Amino acid sequence: MPQKPEQALKELKQIINEAALLGSAAALLGWDERTYMPHGGSAHRANQLALLAGMVHDKATSPRVGELIGAIEGSALTKDPLSVNAVNIRELRRFYDKQTKVPKKLVEAIAHAETTGQGIWVEARKKSDFKMFYPSLEKMIDLKKQYAEAVGYEDVVYDALLDDYEPYASTKSVTKVLGKFREELVPFVAKITGSPKKPNTSILERDYPVEKQRLFGELAAAMIGYDFNGGRLDTTAHPFCTGIGPGDCRITTRFNPKHLGQALFGILHEAGHGIYDQGLPEEHWGMPMGDAVSLGIHESQSRMWENMVGRSKPFWEFFFPLAQQTFHESLVGVKFDDFFFAVNDVRPSFVRVEADEVTYNLHILLRFEIEQAIFNGEVKTKDIPKVWNDKFKSYFGIVPTSDAEGCLQDIHWAAGLFGYFATYSLGNLYSAQFFAKAKEDLGDLDAQFAAGKFRPLRDWLRKNIHSQGRRYRAEELVKKVTGKPLDHKPLMKYLSGKFAPLYGVK
Amino acid sequence: MPQKPEQALKELKQIINEAALLGSAAALLGWDERTYMPHGGSAHRANQLALLAGMVHDKATSPRVGELIGAIEGSALTKDPLSVNAVNIRELRRFYDKQTKVPKKLVEAIAHAETTGQGIWVEARKKSDFKMFYPSLEKMIDLKKQYAEAVGYEDVVYDALLDDYEPYASTKSVTKVLGKFREELVPFVAKITGSPKKPNTSILERDYPVEKQRLFGELAAAMIGYDFNGGRLDTTAHPFCTGIGPGDCRITTRFNPKHLGQALFGILHEAGHGIYDQGLPEEHWGMPMGDAVSLGIHESQSRMWENMVGRSKPFWEFFFPLAQQTFHESLVGVKFDDFFFAVNDVRPSFVRVEADEVTYNLHILLRFEIEQAIFNGEVKTKDIPKVWNDKFKSYFGIVPTSDAEGCLQDIHWAAGLFGYFATYSLGNLYSAQFFAKAKEDLGDLDAQFAAGKFRPLRDWLRKNIHSQGRRYRAEELVKKVTGKPLDHKPLMKYLSGKFAPLYGVK
């Protein structure tokens, strides 16, 4: 029925808000599943989550939502394209069109393939048996191709997948920036690998009691600006950050009593995600204007706090004395420079999630290139292990000794998350570009960090990025904030500026 | 539309199951709110819970549900009144009719009065200021009268309220059994109070480290049959038990490092609720046949494990050596008889939640009688403090020195829970009658407990009570299980049998 845009907007907000509330109930159920749920509750939890997911989907894709969006589009309410209403309608339309293009049968087939695929992947990885995983992977790739065809794309099939995680990004533009980055990164990694200078990482592999690590990690997270009044830290097998709603965004970590860095940098990483979430405009919660721009932008925040801040010299100038105080028995007599070098150890390794901030990007490039080759038909599913290992050799100079530490290591493909990996490196690129600009705007950030002052950076991020919700597309946001389009140079400059002196290379 | 009963049943089950799943999501959100939710998340949590509560209500009271129930009633499916289908339809009809009789405006007014009333009550109790609370209480009583008129009642207004917590119970029958109980209980309490024999309760008021209490409490809960694979124990300001769904029923407690009993008996109490929940037939989850009979029957399970088992001599014959081992520094040299007397201390006190198992019932009787007098017009709201104190004097021989430890102590009235208190004493009565019968059926329960064998009792309860869901109304269940209608004698016999020797009275 035709109606006034103002009325339509009110009704639309009501529906979307209800969908968001149900989604946030599901988020809490998901958090609980991974933190405190008793083992026996898993079947029931699956039933609860399936119902909520279905209800959220039904609400957000109901024909009424389409009608209401239509009644608002083109009205005076959306005249200014950067206004709250225009942005909300732009993004809701985009989401609605994409979601309603996918046949329900395909949605269900993908959901089913995700569940069974992940179960099989767990076993296949355990046995390092690619053949065992192959049929599921082949099936998932086929379903994802169908999905891409259903939702449509401008240039290549892979565009449709990438767009799910990094909206508006194109394969072409991402390939371009990551390609240039690769050209400089690969030889840089080779130089570091060839350097005789190596940190003494055993410093970090001493006794670091879990309870002390927790206190130290919480202190660091709070110092950089994660608000524990609206958050908390728990322990899980795989660390994550989950926003439940305004005033409630939780992070998790995994403690290793024989390693200082694993939990600590993980906490800083998740706190970075949390700080973004806590900085989103509360008054727009549930609507796109209250949401994060993309996974890449989200990752830019976590990586910045984890690496550019957390592994920086000034950060440790402030925190190292506290660490020595807290972990006296393991850090007594350790020299600052040795400690700083140890937390910035760079070395080729097989497993992405354990990689340092330099080689990490090679792990991503490799996956991004293989994914594209899969979806443009250049690589057959059965050849993935060979392609993986060949590429690994050329980027890292080493070859995985098994598929478990090669192409079977990540859960993403089993879970249908093709197009996801790129956002990790995009995050690093965004991060370096934002950080360089923040340094320009805020003066001597190093001196601030060394004095324990992290609030100016957080507030700068809050003002320029977090509080903007989805007003700007990722590409636009980068230009708006830094004055330039996304470029690999700031990241390369940051990496060489930090690691060339450490490793005595050029 | 007319349809076949089988089809109608299928559709009805689907709707009720969805309502139950949403309700169970709300239960988890409620648990989280009281355990781990960051402070900042409370406003959002209220929004989530309000939406879920509304959706559950809308689903369960939709006209379609009424049609479907109608299509099944009187069909072959419900021919046997004790069959699963007949019981489910009987109870769904009852719930549907009651719920649909209440105007939405009244539901909202009560919900609103609950929220504001509780806020004011917190302040009023703090200041011991009945006048401050008076307008809210007056308002709530008025709304509850309207509610009772809307849903209807057979005999007196109070019937409608009592029925919300103890379905099918009548004011008349409860008054009768509690009245007889009071006649014997009041003089018995007076005898104990007059006895020169008193336990040395300081035994329990030593150092009992929280972590040890947790381990000991979890051990005891597991020993009596609470399944931690489908449960967990957390710490909250007010202990509770909440069933999330099959395989997930959680309990909480509150630890006092200077008191052994508070957490331990609380854990046994909540574990008793949990054992009931864990024993409900999983295949009927969401429907009445998978649900507990009433609050009174639920309380009979928690009280039995807390008091009749947990404060019994044979229980401690098994657990006292373990307690001495665990809390060596505080229990070394303590004699068994002194310890046993200490955990069975009986003395008049002002606060219900701290009362022992004998005087507890007087606290309930007092409230039950005042509630009735309020709703039949005999007592005006403004006179409640005086009526309370007079009655207190006659039952306990002491008078509260302030309303904070008098009529303002409980949250129930502020939350609109009139009719609730009676279920606590009904629970004690049911409990004693069930326990006496279990002793008949299972032989020497004392010897079993003393040997650490609690499974026979749990399995007896599971078979006779838990697994029956709501097949029998509370009154019928008591008769079915014990062969006799509810009577105060078994409880009086249990109390005098245990406490008369302890206090050297008759």
Q: Of all residues in chain A, what percent carry a pLDDT higher than 90?
A: 97
Reduced to 3 states, what is the DSSP secondary structure of residue A219?
Answer: helix
- Residue to mutate among A51, A280, A283, with most B CBs inside 10 A, is A51
Residues of chain B with pLDDT > 90: what percent? Answer: 97
Residue A179 phi, psi (nearest 5): -65, -45
- Residues on chain A touching B233 (C-beta within 8 angstroms): none
Of A22, A43, A248, the CB nearest to B38: A248
Task: For residue B1, name the pLDDT band (cuts at 50, 70, 90).
Answer: low
User: How large is the average pLDDT for residues A302-307?
Assistant: 98
d(CA B73, CA B93): 9
Out of B18, B47, B230, closest to residue A21 by CB: B47
Tokens representing residue A113 in the block? 């393939």
Contacts for A131 with CB less than 8 Å, ≥ 6 apart? none
Quote the pLDDT of residue A506. 86
Chain segment A476-495, per-residue pLDDT in tens: 999 999 999 999 999 999 99
Taking the CA of residue A204 as centre, how many other CA atoms within 13 Å lie in the half-sphere pointing to its CB? Answer: 21
Please name the amino acid found at residue B42: S
Task: Give B462's pLDDT tier (boundaries 50, 70, 90).
Answer: very high
Query: Helix axis angle, A210-224 relative to A313-326, nearest 10°?
Result: 140
Kindly report, residue by residue over B133-147, the tens digit of the pLDDT.
999 999 999 999 999
Query: Which chain B residues are closer than 8 Å to A282 by Cβ?
Result: none
pLDDT digits 0-9 by tens, B57-116: 999 999 999 999 999 999 999 999 999 999 999 999 999 999 999 998 999 899 889 988
| Mean pLDDT, rounded, for A245-268 | 97
Residues in B touching A242 (Cβ below 8 Å): none
The token duo for B362 is 């007087």
pLDDT computed for residue A109 by the predictor: 92
The whole-model pTM stands at: 0.94
Size of interface A-B (CB pairs under 8 A): 112
Asked if pLDDT for residue B56 goes beyond 60, the answer is yes
Report which DSSP code applies to B228.
Answer: G
Give how far B341 is from chain A: nearest CA, Å. 37
The pLDDT value given to residue B432 = 98
SS3 (DSSP) at A244: strand
How much is the average pLDDT of A185-203?
A: 96
- In degrees, rounded to 5, the angle at the alpha carbon of residue A24 between the alpha carbons of residues A21 and A27 is 160
- Phi/psi at A243 (5° precision): -90, 120
Inter-CA distances, A284 with A98, A275, A470, B51, Å: 22, 17, 10, 18
C-alpha dihedral (B54, B60, B61, B66), degrees to nearest 10:
170
Cα-based distances in Å from B376 to B242, B371, B372: 34, 9, 6
If pLDDT is split at 50, 70 and 90, which confidence band does A1 have?
low
Q: Is B369 a catalytic residue?
A: no
Q: By percentage, how much of chain B surpasses pLDDT 70? A: 100
d(CA A136, CA A113): 7
Q: pLDDT by residue (tens digit) across A16-72?
A: 999 999 999 999 999 999 999 999 999 999 999 999 999 999 999 999 999 999 999
Q: Residue A229 and residue B21: Cβ atoms within 8 Å?
A: no
Contacting residues for A187 by C-beta, under 8 A, at least 6 apart: none
Kindly indicate the confidence band of residue B439, based on its pLDDT and cuts at 50, 70 and 90. Answer: very high
A230: which chain B residues are within 8 Å (Cβ-Cβ)? 38-41
DSSP string, B28-75: HHHHHHHHT--GGGHHHHHHHHHHHHHHHHHHHT-HHHHHHHHHHTTS
- Measured between beta carbons, which residues in chain A are less than 8 angstroms from residue B32? 28, 32
Contact A228 B38 (CB under 8 A): yes
- Parallel, antiparallel or unpaired: strands B233-235 and A248-253: unpaired
Cα–Cα dist A337/B419, whole Å: 71
Please judge whether A41 and B227 are an interchain contact, meaning their C-beta atoms are less than 8 angstroms apart: no
pLDDT at B224 > cutoff 80:
yes
Cα–Cα distances in Å, from B178 out to A348, A480, B156, B388? 78, 75, 17, 18
Which of A41, A47, A247 is nearest residue B43 as measured by Cβ atoms? A247
Residues A104-128: tens digit of each pLDDT: 899 989 988 998 899 999 999 999 9
Does residue A467 have a pLDDT over 80?
yes
Tokens of A499: 């690691």
Measure CA B459 to chain center.
21
Map out the domains of chain A as residue ranges: 5-101, 204-346+427-485
Residue B203 in tokens: 């035994």
The total of other beta-carbon atoms located within 10 Å of residue B440's CB is 11
The whole-angstrom distance between B336's CA and the closest CA on chain A is 36
Compute the average pLDDT of residues B421-449. 97
The pLDDT score that the predictor gives to residue B166 is 97
| pLDDT score for B493 | 98
Task: Give B452's contacts (C-beta < 8 A, 6+ positions apart).
Answer: B223, B318
**Structure tokens given for B3:** 């349809």
pLDDT 10s digits, A336-383: 999 999 999 999 999 999 899 999 999 999 999 999 999 999 999 999
Strand partners, A243: A249
The one catalytic residue in B166, B218, B270, B306 is B270
Place of tokens 């600590």: A264
Residues of A with CB under 8 A from a CB of B: 18, 21-22, 24-26, 28-29, 32, 36-45, 47-48, 51-52, 227-232, 234, 244-248, 250, 285
Coil, helix or strand for A4?
A: coil
What ipTM does the predicted assembly reach? 0.93
A204-346+427-485 architecture in CATH? Orthogonal Bundle (1.10)
CA distances from B396 to A25, B177, B187, B199, B400 (A): 47, 20, 10, 19, 10
Cβ(B463)–Cβ(B477) below 8 Å: no
A245, β-bridge pairs: A248
pLDDT digits (tens, 9 = 90+) for A3-31: 799 999 999 999 999 999 999 999 999 99
Q: Sheet with A241-245: list strands edge to edge.
A: A233-235, A248-253, A241-245
Q: Could you tell me the CA-to-CA distances from B163 to B259, B294, B347 in Å, in that order?
A: 37, 9, 32
B172-175 long-range contacts (CB < 8 A, ≥24 apart) are: B173/B475, B174/B368, B174/B422, B174/B426, B175/B368, B175/B372
Q: Could you tell me which residues are beta bridge partners of residue B265?
A: none
DSSP secondary structure code for residue B506 in this structure = -
- State which amino acid sits at residue A112: H
Quote the pLDDT of residue A346. 97
pLDDT at A184: 97
Between CA B362 and CA B370 the distance in angstroms is 12
pLDDT of residue B358: 97
* Contact criterion met (CB < 8 Å) for B44 and A245: yes
Which of A417, A434, A269, A439 is CA-nearest to residue A357?
A: A269
Tell me the angle at which helices B295-303 and B261-279 cross, rounded to the nearest 10 degrees: 130
Q: What residues of chain B lie within 8 A of the CB of A32, using their CB?
A: 28, 32
Instruction: Give the distance from CA A375 to its chain's centroid.
Output: 22
Strand order of the β-sheet with B241-245 is B233-235, B248-253, B241-245
Contacts of A190 (CB under 8 A, 6+ apart): A397
Q: Give yes or no for a contact between B5 and B77, defined as CB atoms under 8 angstroms apart.
A: yes
- In a 13 Å sphere around the CA of A194, the CA atoms on its Cβ side amount to 9
Mean pLDDT value of segment A418-443: 97
Query: Over the range A309-333, which residues count as b (16 or more CB within 10 Å of their CB) and which as e?
Result: bbbbbbbbbbbbeebbebbeebbee
- Summarised one tens digit per residue, pLDDT across range B371-387 is 999 999 999 999 999 99
Distance between A82 CA and the closest CA of chain B, angstroms: 27
Pairing verdict, β A248-253 and A233-235: parallel
So what's the pLDDT on residue B2?
A: 56
What are the tokens at B295?
Answer: 């609050």
In the 8-state DSSP scheme, what is residue A93? H
Query: Cα separation of A388 and A407, whole Å?
Result: 6
Q: Once rounded to an integer, what is the mean pLDDT over residues B408-430?
A: 96
- CA A192/CA A202 separation, integer angstroms: 19
